[in-house]
């Protein structure tokens, strides 16, 4: 985890409201994410973890409230200012969300083609570097997503998320579907890239092992808002039924035991 952090928020959400028809997902949600931290976003099914991520990056429009990233309002996604802002973050969706008709290297090149004017050879070289940084072997560069295992697709998705050297990375359930060994290795990869590249990481997850292993702080979504934000030690002290069940249940004790053995 990053040793140097700033108390100034890199993401600032205030009074967020989001509904789908008659179903309100967020109602008055507030959240700050500090520069240089790994923030884990947790909550029960239907609490809108991925919906929150998609609003912050501009893929969904909130019904009300304020969202600022790097001090800029992201609610208007139509202008050049938003396109410039978008270059400063990367997103890894569940299972990588790769383009099936492109190779791994071409997938990583895609944001560079869209955002940068680079010679073909330089773009290909940079993409290869990012693929290697994500821990994929040389022979994976020219494979298609259908030729990869689930874990390799996730690493390719992460390579694409860092292709533009972002300051901020959004990860949506990065370890979902991985076996325990693969998930632990992916946690180490996230922590290593965060430290090496100086990233801020916004990570939606249900994986207790990830929360214990790499998150600086955790935000709990419940009751249509952020119910609590704090370190793992602070989460353990919160007297709320869902929070206590989640952080004191059998899976949490197993995750804590696993951390103690590392």
Domain boundaries, the chain: 30-76+84-235+249-260
Residue 164 in contact with residue 112, Cβ under 8 Å? Answer: yes
Retrieve residue 16's tokens.
Answer: 């967020």
245: tokens are 């069940």
Residues 6+ apart with CB under 8 A from 174: 92, 154, 158, 186, 190, 203, 205, 210
pLDDT for the residue 198: 95
C-alpha span between 195 and 72 (Å, rounded): 25
pLDDT, the chain, mean:
90
Q: Select the more confidently predicted residue: 179 or 250.
A: 179
Write out the CATH class of domain 30-76+84-235+249-260: alpha beta
Chain segment 16-68, per-residue pLDDT in tens: 999 999 999 999 999 999 999 999 999 998 899 999 999 999 999 999 999 99
Q: Is residue 162 scored above 70 in pLDDT?
A: yes
**Pairwise pLDDT comparison (255 vs 234), residue with the higher score:** 234
**What global pTM score does this model have?**
0.91
CA dihedral 229, 235, 241, 244 (to 10 degrees): 160
98 vs 94 pLDDT, higher one: 98
The reported pLDDT for the residue numbered 147 is 94
Report whether pLDDT(1) > 80.
no
pLDDT score of 2: 45
Between 80 and 186, whose confidence is greater?
186
Other CB atoms within a 10 A radius of the CB of residue 197 amount to: 14
């Amino acid at each position: 985890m990053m040793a140097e952090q700033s108390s100034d928020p890199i993401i600032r959400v205030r009074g967020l409201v989001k509904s789908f028809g008659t179903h309100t997902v967020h109602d008055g949600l507030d959240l700050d994410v500090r520069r240089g931290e790994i923030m884990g976003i947790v909550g029960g099914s239907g609490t809108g973890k991925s919906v929150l991520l998609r609003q912050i990056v501009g893929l969904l429009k909130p019904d009300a409230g304020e969202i600022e990233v790097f001090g800029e309002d992201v609610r208007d996604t139509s202008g050049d200012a938003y396109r410039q802002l978008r270059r400063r973050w990367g997103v890894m969706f569940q299972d990588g969300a790769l383009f099936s008709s492109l190779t791994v290297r071409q997938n990583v090149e895609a944001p560079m083609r869209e955002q940068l004017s680079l010679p073909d050879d330089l773009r290909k070289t940079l993409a290869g570097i990012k693929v290697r940084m994500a821990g994929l072997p040389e022979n994976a560069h020219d494979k298609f997503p259908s030729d990869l295992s689930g874990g390799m697709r996730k690493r390719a998705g992460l390579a694409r998320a860092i292709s533009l050297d972002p300051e901020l990375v959004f990860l949506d359930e990065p370890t979902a579907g991985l076996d325990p060994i693969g998930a632990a290795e992916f946690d180490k990869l996230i922590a290593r890239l965060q430290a090496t590249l100086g990233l801020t990481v916004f990570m939606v997850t249900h994986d207790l092992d990830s929360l214990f292993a790499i998150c600086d702080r955790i935000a709990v979504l419940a009751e249509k808002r952020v119910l609590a934000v704090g370190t793992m030690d602070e989460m353990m002290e919160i007297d709320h039924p869902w929070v206590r069940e989640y952080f004191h249940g059998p899976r949490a004790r197993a995750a804590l035991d696993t951390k103690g053995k590392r």
